[in-house]
Chain A
Amino acid sequence: MADEITPRRDPIKSSVGNVAAQRRRQHAITVAKERREAVVRTKRLCRVGVGGGGDDQLTYDDDGDGGDMMIDAEQSILEAQTCSAVQDLQLAMLFQGKGAMQKRVAALREVRRLLSRSEFPPIEAAIKAGAIPLLVQCLSFGSPEEQLLEAAWCMTNIAAGKPEETKELLPALPLLIAHLGEKSSLPVAEQCSWAVGNVAGEGEELRNILLSQGALPSLARMMLRNKGSTVRTAAWALSNLIKGPDPKAATELIRVDGVLEAILQHLKKADEELATEVAWVVVYLSALSHVATSMLVKSDLLQILVERLGMSNSLQLLIPVLRSIGNLVAGDAHVASTVLVIGQSITDSILPALIKCLESEHRVMKKEAAWVLSNIAAGSVEHKKLVYSSEAVPLLLRLLVTAPFDIRKEVAYVVGNLCVAPSEGSGRPKLIADHLVFLVSKGCLPGFIDLVRSADIEAAKLGLQFIELVLRGMPNGSGPKLVEKADGIDAMERFQFHENEELRCMATKLVDKYFGVDYGVDDE
């Protein structure tokens, strides 16, 4: 402290050694931390057996594989307990004296708890013990609300089981559907819609049965209720119900009075969780039904979806929103010209939103966003110009080189579409020369030639088409040179003996026409 200490900062021009060693150590610490977290996460996924806590959650029917730490001995204990619980329920149903209702509800609750436990609920044991007829009986009209709720809850969990177990619920379906109606209390209706949703998720056969029994109008009307969780569950169940492949259900849904308005309103105002489920409904509507698509396009749905896309950061929500937009743009040729009008604010805001998705870390987002863009780029010349002059282009060019194959392919469609004018009549597509020249100058050609080499016929064809554009359209006949330099001749020659005739002809024609005997003569 005696001597003056002049504080000195590190010079900007410093040796790389110091920084590097520091970074390397930091990296080792980070790696260790990540591994520790991975160990903890794995342990957390292991479910507790019967001895530990119970599992009271409702089970969505999905195909996720959980851990399977359940030991056989524990499973058999669980099954024995289930069996006796069902027997207790049977006794309780027969009991007529004082407190009969409480007894029934208590017995039901016990069955429900057992069915909620562990990764592998003892559904089979419950069915074998004769639970279904008892549960159906519990659903009879006029039963107390708590009893209905517990019984529907049991069925929800049974419906989440294996397909043959779900089918056991057939006798219960009419009653479950009946309780969806306006006369039921909201919790009961919601619980029943949950069960119905799980059943619908099982497959086409059960979906058709549910539809024929009138599940759709009831669920559709639940979309108009004003309780968030009810609407969410109904929307989820509906998206399972209209999955198709028959478009009839989707068409029927959109024609239900008030549904379209409800969808619009929820997408506009609801929280992200609810909006997510509603967006999935829109995905299936727009993917399956032309009627639905044309009605949706006439509303301001697209505007709302684009706003959501721009604002939200929830991947769960963004995926169905993005896919819906794609379905709408691809499904209705008029969308581009009538909704995405150049100069309208929606058109200005859709591009940044899509660019955000293209920049996302998530593969599906990138792919879907590129797909939507390719549909926009397939529109009018003005639309092509809009995309071309946006910030999407550098991104697309990079993705075309660096992204995984499926994204590259979608991106190639966008880039390709930017270079050709909408075709009038048949014949070869007309070129947009300045787009082509610029994009080629930015190095997009190798990306397409890569596609030519791929095993995917569709991608290869796309690649060949683009090569054709370059050969034909680059000014001063510079096309052939460029293609040759990028190893394009080699890529095309691979098709000489290809089993796909169309590709073989395309490639051979191109090679003959542009790289025939005369090729290169002028250079001498």
Chain B
Amino acid sequence: MAMEVTQVLLNAQSVDSTVRKHAEESLRQFQEQNLSVFLLSLSGELAGEDKPVDSRKLAGLILKNALDAKEQHRKYELVQRWLALDMGVKTQIKACLLQTLSSPVHDAHSTASQVIAKVAAIELPQKQWPELIGSLLSNIHQVPAHVKQATLETLGYLCEEVSPDVVDQDQVNKILTAVVQGMNANEVNNDVRLAATRALYNALGFSHANFSNDMERDYIMRVVCEATLCPDVKIRQAAFECLVSIASTYYEKLAPYIQEIFNITAKAVREDEEPVALQAIELWSSICDEEIDILEEYGGDFTADSDVPCYYFIKQALPALVPMLLETLLKQEEDQDLDEGAWNLAMAGGTCLGLVARTVGDDIVPLVMPFIEENITKPDWRQREAATYAFGSILEGPSPDKLTSIVNVALNFMLTALTNDPNSHVKDTTAWTLGRIFEFLHGSTVETPIITPANCQQIVTVLLQSMNDAPNVAEKACGALYFLVQGYEDIGSTSPITPFFQEIVKSLLHVTDREDAGESRLRTAAYETLNEVVRCSTDETASMVLQLVPIIMTKLHQTLEAEKLSSDGREKQNELQGLLCGCLQVITQKLGASEPAKYAFMQFADQIMNLFLRVFACRSATVHEEAMLAIGAVAHATGPDFAKYMPELYKYLEMGLQNFEEYQVCAVTVGVVGDICRALDDKVLPYCDGIMTQLLKDLSSNQLHRSVKPPIFSCFGDIALAIGENFEKYLMYAMPMLQSAAELSAHTSGADDEMIEYTNLLRNGILEAYSGIFQGFKNSPKTQLLIPYAPHILQFLDSIYMEKDMDDVVMKTAIGVLGDLADTLGSNAGSLIQQSLSCKDFLNECLSSDDHLIKESAEWAKMAITRAISV
């Protein structure tokens, strides 16, 4: 039944594009016309020992792609298609795949192992292919090393693809035994040992039971630690990757091994090749992650019960760990600051040092200070840079009490270094460190200010001077300025920045115009800093912010007039447009917040909207997103007069709501629809048919990213609040959608944290929709239209209350809905509420909440219910 596909597969890789296109087309047709034969033929090709390696490899690749895809909906289709295939065909394909595992050709068996994992990911949850794991395990005892290697790789991929709950413990035990044996030092073949080590990495998620057993765990740990000493560098690296994963997955089991772990990581960091040393550092970073999480959960209150206790590994290792990390800081690469993707020992070491500081707080300071003092004035730039970097890294974590006096001394030194140090790497790190100082030790919550009227001017001057330095240094100086002004965001009516405002704005605009502003993300940093300067400014400088409007508008106008550009040039142009739209968004938001400034700003509104509409003609998701955000700000500032822009804007709203692929654009547009509803109120009515149609389509689509759905529900509420009883005609569509989403989100049993978080977002969206609809209908003669929906809504409230996993936001919104229901339906709801299972308990719980927002909503709900019941 299978067909000969060798030639067409080879042609599909031909250098001749005509031949290649023709071949691709035939493959596509073949696939569409007869999927079973197509897949069968490919598996036959893959298994054929007489076939060329290139055609075998491509056959496997196409097979793999026929089983899985990145997009969720596509993946779902593929899975359904496979499950629908004829059993006999599938059996043949799977036999071919298993057979290929024994092929001596590396590319063939390696591709086959990936395809097997994909099939397993579909079939094992369906209780199909039960013999797979058994037959793989029987391969382990085969003599040829390559079979062993391929089998171990397959087991690894399988563990990566398949969820642990579909494999029973007995099989898990066998897989682990096979894998750990393969890793053992007795295994002479390095390829086998490497495959086993990588397989273990994936199998760790399956091994909870085994890690709870002291003997098994000891054995696994011994083998992994031994593998970190293997002569083969790849195996050492893979073994360290296993250790990293163990450290985060089984943190609470580490205590007996921590000394040994320290010894081998210290050796690796100091002596081993970079990829291995990086993993050794990563291990300590991961332990920090765990301890930071645990301590955060304690919330400083050690009586609180956390699932996992903190073992304070970092604190104990501190005296040895910190010197080890400090050594790495001296191993910088010459031009690492110019390469955005750079990652090396020094960077990893500093990052880890920062995590250590966050884990242990004050204790790190005395261990790092001598290093800083010793190196900061050395003639070798590496020493000065390392010292500065160390200082910058430990600024988050220790208490201000511990740091303030040191920072007060260091500040002057840093400012001088930023101006005078001959080395640009040192200046880069110095500017970054200043930014960290301002981020963590400056602001309204800090008790002892480090920035005073005495030094503020000097700081600003030095930072602005550095804006003329090399792009990477200027970028870091922007960052420092960003945090400097951010510290004054709650300053009140008079800001110490005011005297420098004009100069700062001028310098930042100058930076954005620099020829080399495209390097080191300098232009982005300059615009974002400008935005923050505007956002944190006070009324004193409103007139200067207003003057920025025409300047930014002109820049945006210029980008739209630009001649034809190369694709690279267009990309840069788009980036710039995004930045300019973002800047206008922030300015609009700022000026829109105060009456006199808003009045002055309105003179530009027509022109700004005009520019935004032209921006939509460009094809770039980021630009659309930024323009939409800015339009939301304009709508808020303009109020009901925004109606005049709607005829032209509407089609772009519709386009945005249809943008499934770039779902962020869709999400932002949904938010802007909400802004427009609030600005226009019932004047939005003429556009609601179209908007609601799009929103309902979005909800029914399985292509749209799920994160957009909660805001869409909230948007229903926005629309209902704006148009009131006119929402009537959408009830028959919106209510069933809300109802089914409510049913789905009522229960979360067995979900992971991420899922629970999403479910709560969804619940909140649904509840905001209900609130909006009830409040929209209030006082209208049509409230009785809502009565039929009340029982279900009350049931939904009951069930989320019973589930006990809602967050505070949902609690507040939910109890508000209860009040809205009573408020709008009045006596009609009285008896329903009295019958409700838990609404009284729910209300009481909210009334006694510590969160005053919840309490406030609950008090309101109580009043509304009392009124409804008493009539």
Contacts and interface: CB of A to CB of B under 8 A. Distances in A.
A11, A13, A20, A46: residue with the most chain B Cβ atoms closer than 10 Å: A13
Contact of A52 (B633, B671, B826): B826
Contact of B528 (A8, A16, A52): A16
Nearest to B244: A7
B524 A35 contact: no
Contact of B110 (A2, A13, A15, A35): A2
A402 B585 contact: no
Contacts of B717: 36
A6 B275 contact: yes
B699 to A, nearest CB: 19
Contacts of B816: 40, 44
A36 B674 contact: yes
Interface stretch (B311-319, B598-606, B863-871): B863-871
Nearest to B869: A56
Given A13-B429, A48-B779, A20 B629 contact: no
B531 interface: yes
B867 A44 contact: no
Interface stretch (B498-506, B541-549, B767-775): B767-775
B182 interface: no
A12 B350 contact: yes
A454 to B, nearest CB: 15
B827 A53 contact: yes
A39 interface: yes
Interface string B489-532: 00110000000000000000000000000001100110011011
A25 B350 contact: no
A363 B71 CA distance: 53
Contacts of A402: 444, 491-492
Interface stretch (B474-482, B644-652, B740-748): B474-482
Contacts of A15: 340, 475, 479, 520-521, 524-525
Main secondary structure of the interface of A (DSSP, over half): loop
A54 interface: yes
Interface string A23-53: 0110011011001100110011010110111
A11 B110 contact: no
B678 interface: yes
Contact of A1 (B157, B479, B585, B589): B157
Given A1-B157, A35-B636, A40 B589 contact: no
Contacts, number: 167
Contact of B823 (A29, A39, A53, A398): A53
B347 A11 contact: yes
Contacts of A51: 781
Given A2-B110, A44-B820, A53 B525 contact: no
A56 B867 contact: yes
B823 A44 contact: yes
B528 A21 contact: yes
A333 interface: no
Nearest to B433: A13
Interface in B650-681: 668, 671, 674-675, 678
B198 interface: yes
A55 interface: yes
Range, interface on chain A: 35 or more
B521 A21 contact: no
B508 to A, nearest CB: 12
A218 B659 CA distance: 73
Nearest to B354: A12
A53 B775 contact: no
B343 interface: yes
A2 B532 contact: no
A69 interface: yes
A21 B668 CA distance: 14
B770 to A, nearest CB: 11
B771 A56 contact: no
Contacts of B351: 9-13
Interface string A153-171: 0000000000000000000
A62 interface: no
Nearest to A8: B343
Interface in A382-407: 394-395, 398, 402
A48 B482 contact: no
Contacts of A12: 347, 350-351, 353-354, 392-393
A13 B392 CA distance: 9
Contact of A16 (B161, B354, B479, B671): B479
A43 B822 CA distance: 14
Nearest to A13: B432
B279 interface: yes
Nearest to B435: A16
Given A15-B521, A39-B721, A44-B775, A53 B350 contact: no
Contact of A17 (B392, B491, B521, B830): B521
Given A12-B393, A28-B671, A39-B678, A17 B524 contact: yes
A28, A56, A313: residue with the most chain B Cβ atoms closer than 10 Å: A28
A443 interface: yes
B291 interface: no
B33 interface: no
B866 A57 contact: yes
B574 to A, nearest CB: 14
Given A13-B432, A24-B586, A40 B779 contact: no
Contacts of A290: none
Contacts of B582: 21, 24
A268 interface: no
B482 A20 contact: yes
B675 A32 contact: yes
A28 B475 CA distance: 25
B447 interface: yes
A20 B532 contact: yes
A36 B776 CA distance: 13
B826 A53 contact: yes
Contacts of B343: 8, 11
B487 interface: no
Nearest to A315: B852
B198 A4 contact: yes
Contacts of B491: 402
A103 interface: no
B462 to A, nearest CB: 17
A41 B594 CA distance: 22
B866 A35 contact: no
A28 B632 contact: yes
B44 interface: no
B290 interface: no
A443 B435 CA distance: 25
A453 interface: no
Given A9-B282, A44-B823, A20 B775 contact: no
Interface string A299-326: 0000000000000010000000000000
A43 B867 contact: no
A36 B449 CA distance: 36
Given A9-B285, A20-B531, A57-B866, A44 B860 contact: yes
Contacts of A435: none
Contacts of A11: 343, 347-348, 350-351
A443 B521 CA distance: 40
B538 interface: no
Interface string B243-266: 010000000000000000000000
B102 interface: no
A113 B869 CA distance: 12
Given A49-B779, A54-B871, A402-B492, A44 B674 contact: no
12 contacts: A6-B237, A7-B244, A11-B348, A12-B354, A21-B524, A24-B531, A35-B636, A40-B771, A52-B778, A52-B826, A54-B871, A394-B448
Given A10-B351, A15-B340, 19 more contacts: A1-B114, A11-B350, A11-B351, A12-B354, A12-B393, A15-B524, A16-B478, A16-B528, A24-B585, A29-B671, A32-B671, A36-B678, A43-B778, A52-B826, A53-B826, A313-B850, A394-B447, A398-B449, A402-B444
The 4 A-B pairs at the shortest CB distance, nearest first, are namely A53-B826, A56-B870, A16-B479, A20-B528
